[in-house]
Amino acid sequence: MELRTLMREGGCGHVIFEGQPTVIWAILRDAFGPDRIQARDECKAFKLKGETEGKIEVNIKQSPQHIEVNRSELKGYEKHVILELMKETRNVISKKHTPCGLNIVKQLFYTR
């Protein structure tokens, strides 16, 4: 109920969930409507500054309303990947100069 209220009132920011994909998708459909979530699969490389590995490649599922990552693919680099995804989202939003509202709330979801 709190998430639905936040989105309807035009709250901005990132919300991070951890859980089963089916539950997360139910939340997305409930919050944004069943026809609004058009996700695509993508593989992204993330630079790992100051780490022994130079980069990590992660499969993500992304729509305008969310980004989904499988935590098992992050290999202990959750902080690097999540922070970079949040920066990318913030940069896209600021380039559009869009005010806070339903269309720009970006959700980051972990799956097991």
For β-strands 55-63 and 40-47, DSSP reports them as: antiparallel
Residue 70, classed as helix, strand or coil, is strand
User: Strands across the sheet with 66-70, in order?
Assistant: 14-18, 106-111, 66-70, 55-63, 40-47
Q: Give the global pTM.
A: 0.67
> By residue range, what is the domain housing residue 68?
2-111
Kindly give the confidence (pLDDT) of every residue in the chain, 112 residues in length, as a single tens digit, with 9 standing for 90 and above.
Answer: 776 677 667 665 677 778 888 888 887 888 778 787 788 999 999 988 878 888 999 999 988 778 889 888 888 888 889 888 888 877 665 554 444 444 444 455 555 5
Residue in 24, 107, 112 with CA at minimum distance from that of residue 74: 112
Total number of domains in the chain: 1
Would you state the pLDDT for residue 16? 79
Would you state the pLDDT for residue 101? 45
Helix (H) or strand (E) holding 43: strand 40-47
